[in-house]
Amino acid sequence: MAVARRAVLGAAAVGAGAVGFARRAGFTPSKTGSAGADTLTFSLWGADSEIAAFQALARAYERRHHGIRVEIRMEPYQQMYTNMDALLSGGRAPDLFRCDYANLGMYSASGQLLDLSPYFGEAERAAFLPALWEAVCHEGRPYAVPHHTDTTAVLYRKDMFRAAGITEVPESLNEAWSWDEFTEICARLRKKVHGVYPFVYGWQQAGAFRWLSWLWQAGGRILDADLSAPAIESAAGLRALRYTQDFFREGFVPPNSSVKSAAYPDALFTAGTVAMSFAGDFLLPTIDPALKKELYGVTFQPHGRYAATDLGGNAVVATRTTENPELAADFLKFLVEEENMARFCEQCVVLPTRRSLLGRPLDYAVRPDLMPVYAEQATALTPAMTAQVAVPSFGRINASLQDELEAAFVSRQPAEVTLRNIAEATRSALASA
């Protein structure tokens, strides 16, 4: 997940409304926390608002547990996993850390995380969206809590749409543009609005996996149903890749917005370089101060054979070597308690993972009027999609996507060669997991 750059006031409200799980009968914390008596260490990265929200949650937990301390340790996102690998291998890992879903499987499968099966009953597991609970499980066992999610929808400039004579946009997921209709929209924008590219997509750098939305929309898969072999070499895979290659051939996207580019969708959108941006909800706090609210709106991603979207957001894990697993697990349950999750999502402009919050209107700090579209878009994510991203070897698969999609988009590598190279890299990654 790219980190949004902003701060939101009022994070203390999280603590004021928090309900501590450790009040439950019979809870007795250990006296041997790894950073001192009854201390939990929690490593994370985040935007200013996220850091403030986590700190408020930590203080609220401490108030519910007199004598217990939660020590938050900040890590730069770009070095988070390198640093965490070193800490884990050196026996100096924190009790808890934040982890995106695409990297989670690697840690779950390596025996480095606390198995949370003893701490979550069936009813507690069923409280989460199935696709998100699937994302934190390995071989049927949970190794994290799905703290929140985010997804991609299509921001659009209303003034540029008017200039192109586009007067309506889809207002529900079922009405989303087809691929052919989306191509027509892009062609009209390219012709009518001079000096502006039709759109930009958020597949840059580690976000290369977001391209999978097009594959899934075409009815394809990157892994087979058993998650044991590559499945991208298919008619659907070929259609998805050729369709997305056309974005560059037709000049629908800026040439500097390819997979290995540092030109991110929020910056190009606010600069007026593009008429549309496939952007995550977590970017709204970055975009909102730069554009007047009346200038832009949001609609749904196009669909092929199916609607689909990407798996964004983050989980929180406890490490297997924590000296106080009961306390660590209890803090994880506290983080995803309904009211705590609601406040975090509202302040950080991300989506909840609990079923009970789906139909509940949340008071988002930025553009609450746009968030229902993101929430509906997120329903296109299925457990079958998340399972393909949550495999232990996905980090290596994602690295291959970066290399091969860049070659396909920029160097015009033939689609068949690109799919074959991705399949070979995927097979190798699976074999080494």
Q: What is the pLDDT of residues 132-178, one digit of tens each?
A: 999 999 999 999 999 999 999 999 999 999 999 999 999 999 999 99
Residues of the chain above pLDDT 70, percent: 91
CB atoms within 10 A of CB 273: 17
d(CA 213, CA 380): 10
Q: What percent of the chain has pLDDT over 90?
A: 87
Assign domain 152-310+383-432 to its CATH architecture: 3-Layer(aba) Sandwich (3.40)
**Is the pLDDT reported for residue 22 higher than 60?**
no
How many Å apart are CA 260 and CA 375, to the nearest integer? 29
What pLDDT digit, counting tens, does each position of 119-130 carry?
Answer: 999 999 999 999
Extract the runs of DSSP E, i.e. beta strands, from 249-327: 274-280, 296-299, 314-318
Determine the distance from the C-alpha atom of residue 121 to the mean position of all C-alpha atoms in its chain, rounded to a whole number.
26
Whether pLDDT at 332 is above 60? yes
Q: Would you say residue 37 has pLDDT above 80?
A: no
Strand (E) or helix (H) holding 344:
helix 338-348
Ramachandran area for residue 429 (φ above 0: left; ψ -120 to 50: alpha; else beta): alpha
Instruction: Return the SS3 of 320.
Output: coil
The answer, yes or no, to whether residue 7 has pLDDT greater than 60, is no
Question: 12-149+312-360: which CATH number, 3.30.365.10, 1.10.3720.10, 3.40.605.10, 3.40.190.10?
Answer: 3.40.190.10
Which residue shows structure tokens 């991300």? Answer: 350
What count of residues does the chain have? Answer: 433
Q: Report the pLDDT value the prediction gives residue 262, as an integer from 0 to 100.
A: 86
Exposed, middle or buried: residue 393 (CB in 10 Å: 0-12, 13-18, 19+)?
buried
Region 296-316: mean pLDDT is 97
Two tokens, residue 173: 């997921």
pLDDT value of residue 35: 53
Question: Is residue 320's pLDDT more than 80?
Answer: yes
Say whether 152-310+383-432 and 12-149+312-360 share the same fold.
yes
Q: Which residues pair with 71 in a beta bridge?
A: 41
pLDDT confidence of residue 11: 31
Band (10; pLDDT cuts 50, 70, 90): very low
So where are the chain's domains? 12-149+312-360, 152-310+383-432
Closest CA to 159 of 294, 268, 69, 273: 294
The CA dihedral of 248, 251, 252, 254, to the nearest 10 degrees, is 80
